[in-house]
A and B are shown apart, each in its own frame.
Chain A
Amino acid sequence: MSVLADTMAGRRGAGAHRPLLAVLHEWVVTVDHKRLGVMYVVSGLAFLLVAGLEASTMRLQLVWSGLHVVPPGTFNRLFTMHGTTMVFLVGIPIVFGFANYLVPLMIGARDLAFPRLNAFGFWAFLFGGLLLHFSFVGGEGLYGGGSAPDVGWFAYAPLTGRAFSPGNSTDYWNLSILVMGFGTVATSINLIVTTLAMRCPGMTLGRLPVYVWMMLVVSGMTVIALPPLSAAQIMLLLDRFLGAHFFDTQAGGSAVMWQHFFWFFGHPEVYILMVPGFAFVSEIIPVFSRKVIFGYPMVVAASMAIGLLSMSVWAHHMFAVGMGSPLNAAFAASTMLIAVPTGIKIFNWVATMYGGRIRFATPMLFACAFLFQFLCAGLTGIMLAVVPFNWQVTDTYFVVAHFHYVLVGGLVFTIFGAIYYWFPKVTGRLLSERLGRWHFWLFVVGFNVTFLPMHWLGMIGMPRRIYTYPADRGWEFWNVVASLGVAFQAAAILVFLVNVVLALRRGERAGDDPWDAWTLEWSTASPPPPYNFETVPVVGSRRPLWDLKHPDDPDGPHE
């Protein structure tokens, strides 16, 4: 533990062993963006394990028809907690944690604009996450899932009203996410201000690393799209506690209005989760292909287009609600349109690799799998925009397959790539390439074995969120296959954890720049000193370190 702490703090070698309490105190009161970033990512990974266990239990229950691994009430709590945890307690903290760590380093700044607000954001997230999980205590006991929420991660009204969800489980969902939401908005504001107001000399907006641009877009989306969720949750709170009728259909209220408000947040949310994944690979692919990213201006413009367009597609989650043909067609149009800037990015990445000298270190392996899996995810997304097809497969395992290809095949894979890429910078040690390969191959096999068949299951009639299914539907075979994939994924995660522990203890020293990369974070020590840079960097192009390493052929004139 103290080795880890010393390492993070930049104290290399066998320094003085400090008492555990002092170390913990330092971490608890820290406002340093690097430490907060690490805390975000570590917490997110811990919640990943919890949500993974929830998913594994569900896959066990569904491996055959009519099983009784868990009672129906518990299953319903499991899928609700799995979705809620993955979106709010794994995805968001990890992507914002990385941004926390990397953005100041990439722009040559000393910290984020508001360090104390940064700390507030982290603790709001952690408190919310712990509050949500406290719901497992009491209620119906652990086997019954406690009083954990059981209304689905998007908590449709009026199921969430007092009449249909008596007790406190929905309140746990509502309050914990409300609290976390404030923290997320705070962190987004912090990132925007930092990026706009604290760049080092020479770093015009046109010279920002693609990662920073994308996190700027993500932060802007969060500032606009998260408050509507908070608003809807406040309305739900008023309904449940003060007798208001926002979503009370008995009093003339509208159940569909919750959906509009939720998805107005919910759709940008999934881009808020995925665009950081794009940002990771936009740094990884060029470095491991040994080529500058192809079409920087277009990549940035496409990201901004995605940010804007993502606010116009929300009702494609509601094609079966009965909005009427004109609205259905309009949202089909906007949804298909957003595929264009998203697809363009894939072309830019492939064009970056084209003509390169690709080195398949572990980060690059994850980035390559991402390309195929995200292509698949994007194409099933286009299929889902075809409204009549959507009428058949919405609310089925086809959609489950689609969004797991986006969020696992896309986001989780890129997160692992990012961890392997930046771990040396954060800790000063390299992760094992050999274990990295085992991790990668186990995970890619397990993930695809689990989620590819789900496309088919949706198309042969299997809806979502069912704790069991009849024996005479012909669904068993592919459910068995899907459940088998879990073993591989679990093994992969285990290998990853072993890799991390071993690397922290006796990993090879990384040095400042183990990957021969080009952005500013690689110009300082690994791990960076608390003040980040000894002297404030001055940059003349998008790849300051390329310019330093290739003084005969700097980037400037080409940009």
Chain B
Amino acid sequence: MLRLACGVLLLAAVTIFTTSPATADGNGGVQTPSIFAPVSTPAYAIRELTWIVLVITGAIFLVVAGLTVYAITRFRRRQGDDGREPPQVYGSLQIELAWTVVPILIVVVLFLVTTRYIFAIEGRPPVPEALEVTIVGHQWWWEIRYPKLGIVTANELHVPVSDPAHPTPTFITLQSADVIHSFWIPQLAGKMDVVPNKTNRIWIDPQKPGGYVGQCAEYCGLQHAGMLLIVAVQSKEDFEKWAAQQQAPARNDAGVQAGRELFSSLACINCHAVRGTTANGVFGPDLTHLMSRRTIGAGVIQNTPENIRSWIDDPASLKPGALMPAMKLSREDLDKVTAYLLALR
């Protein structure tokens, strides 16, 4: 029994250490979004707090479990037991007082530590250098707006890296267009719910460039599992380059004129926006720079020409329950619209 327990613990330890590191490129393509691999101040603070809590609760576990094991082994009925009843002990005021007072003290300490971290994380005011982002949760995708930069995109959040010496955090305002969602990137911060008719705030200051993943963490309907999040943390220069590219209106390639006209005349513009054209729908993701994103369908499918084509033809085939209807275009129309979208870099 003991050997089995040790074996399990060893296996657990091995797995913990092999899955902890999580960067965009490390570990053979695996990006484990572990709370033990933080890169941003709120997540660092929480990891620190987690260690404190684990030590306290671990100690309590060892003491209590140890006493229980002792009681079970030492006082089990042995062979040749004469069947007499042991001395009946009805209680002890001193012992009971002790095991009431000590837990209360532990609780007081834990509460004070916890409260300090609560206010430190939640109470941080924005700084002038902070980037402001507004994220609106939809069933089942994320609308991402940079109000002061005039950028609107979807599902993939780009932020500049923050130098701890001169922090440039990102403050995110969270709203919902329909039901409750929850915004969660474990390596950056704890989660914050996205609630309709309520505005929540959260902040991050990622200190290492790279890609970090998360997903919606409050059940929101059929494709709750398909509402992934990707955060690209970039150097200041890369971020500014990205922002400039995103601020530009949509490319107007002559070669895809046919597709563009088709897009503008079909129901597409009821839901989607393409800045610089007549399309200004708000129910679906902004497509102005669709091809600058790595994935479509809120992280569920890779952004490739074939997938774009399949998505337009029948979104439910790639993401069952997606609220975009199948457009039922003819093959030629589908080719034209696909070509147009592929040009929206």
Contact = CB atoms under 8 A, between A and B. Distances in A.
B225 A159 contact: no
A253 B15 CA distance: 46
Contacts of B190: 320, 388, 390-392
A393 B35 contact: yes
Given A71-B320, A294-B89, A392 B186 contact: yes
B79 to A, nearest CB: 12
A167 interface: no
B196 A249 contact: yes
A555 B89 CA distance: 11
Contact of B225 (A151, A249, A469): A469
Contacts of A394: 191, 217
Interface residues of A, number: 101
B123 interface: yes
Contact of A255 (B45, B198, B201, B213): B198
A296 B90 contact: yes
Interface in A33-83: 71-73, 76
Contacts of B45: 388
Interface string A335-373: 011011001101110110111111110000000100110
Nearest to A328: B118
Contacts of B30: 472-474
A325 B46 contact: no
Interface in B11-32: 12, 15-16, 19-20, 22, 27, 29-32
Interface stretch (A179-187, A377-385, A520-528): A377-385
B178 interface: yes
Given A337-B107, A386-B53, A292 B35 contact: no
B179 interface: yes
A333 B110 CA distance: 9
A181 to B, nearest CB: 23
A376 interface: yes
A158 B217 contact: no
A294 B91 contact: yes
Contacts of A389: 46, 49-50, 53
Contacts of B89: 291-292, 294, 351, 355
B225 A72 contact: yes
A432 interface: no
A16 to B, nearest CB: 41
A466 B139 CA distance: 14
Contacts of A388: 42, 45-46, 49, 114, 117-118, 121, 190
B91 A391 contact: no
Given A321-B193, A356-B75, A72 B321 contact: yes
A256 B198 contact: yes
A545 B40 CA distance: 64
Contact of A254 (B87, B115, B197): B197
A215 to B, nearest CB: 22
Contacts of A256: 195, 198
B61 A376 contact: yes
A355 B86 contact: yes
A260 interface: no
A480 B114 CA distance: 35
Which of B15, B49, B67, B85 has the largest count of A CB atoms less than 10 A from its CB? Answer: B85
Nearest to A549: B85
A297 B91 contact: yes
Contact of B16 (A380, A456, A469): A456
A253 B61 CA distance: 44
Contacts of A540: none
A322 interface: yes
Interface string B76-117: 110001000111111110011001100110010011011101
A559 interface: yes
Interface in A449-506: 453, 456, 459-461, 463-470, 472-475, 477-478
A291 B114 contact: no
A356 B119 CA distance: 49
A390 B35 CA distance: 11
Given A351-B95, A388-B118, A395-B217, A292 B88 contact: yes
A354 B219 contact: no
B77 A385 contact: no
Contact of B215 (A333, A453, A463): A463
B122 A325 contact: yes
Interface in A279-335: 289-292, 294-298, 320-322, 324-325, 328-329, 332-333
Contacts of B228: 470
A253 B197 contact: yes
A209 interface: no
Contacts of A351: 89, 95
B33 interface: yes
A397 to B, nearest CB: 11
A459 B111 CA distance: 22
Contact of A344 (B81, B103, B299): B103
A253 B179 CA distance: 12
B221 interface: yes
B334 to A, nearest CB: 26
Nearest to B38: A392
B35 A461 contact: yes
A372 to B, nearest CB: 6
A255 B32 contact: no
B65 A372 contact: yes
B224 interface: yes
A395 B216 CA distance: 10
Contacts of A553: 88
B252 interface: no
Contacts of B121: 388, 391
Nearest to B101: A340
A438 interface: no
B127 interface: no
B34 A459 contact: yes
A91 interface: no
Contacts of B221: 76, 159, 164
A147 to B, nearest CB: 14
A453 B8 CA distance: 10
Interface in A76-101: 76
A391 B46 contact: yes
Given A156-B219, A255-B198, A357 B36 contact: no
B223 interface: yes
B192 interface: yes
Contact of A291 (B61, B86, B104, B201): B86
A460 B19 contact: yes
Contact of A395 (B50, B65, B191): B191
27 contacts: A72-B320, A76-B221, A76-B224, A158-B178, A158-B196, A164-B139, A255-B180, A291-B89, A322-B193, A325-B118, A328-B118, A332-B115, A340-B104, A344-B99, A347-B99, A356-B86, A357-B81, A358-B75, A360-B77, A392-B186, A392-B191, A394-B217, A456-B16, A459-B34, A467-B225, A472-B31, A555-B88
Closest 10 CB pairs of A and B: A391-B190, A461-B33, A466-B225, A474-B32, A249-B196, A249-B197, A295-B91, A322-B200, A465-B219, A379-B57
Interface of A: 71-73, 76, 150-152, 156, 158-159, 163-164, 249-250, 252-256, 289-292, 294-298, 320-322, 324-325, 328-329, 332-333, 336-337, 339-340, 343-344, 346-348, 350-351, 353-360, 368, 371-372, 375-376, 379-380, 382-383, 385-396, 453, 456, 459-461, 463-470, 472-475, 477-478, 550, 553, 555, 558-559
Given A294-B91, A395-B217, 4 more contacts: A72-B223, A76-B221, A151-B219, A392-B190
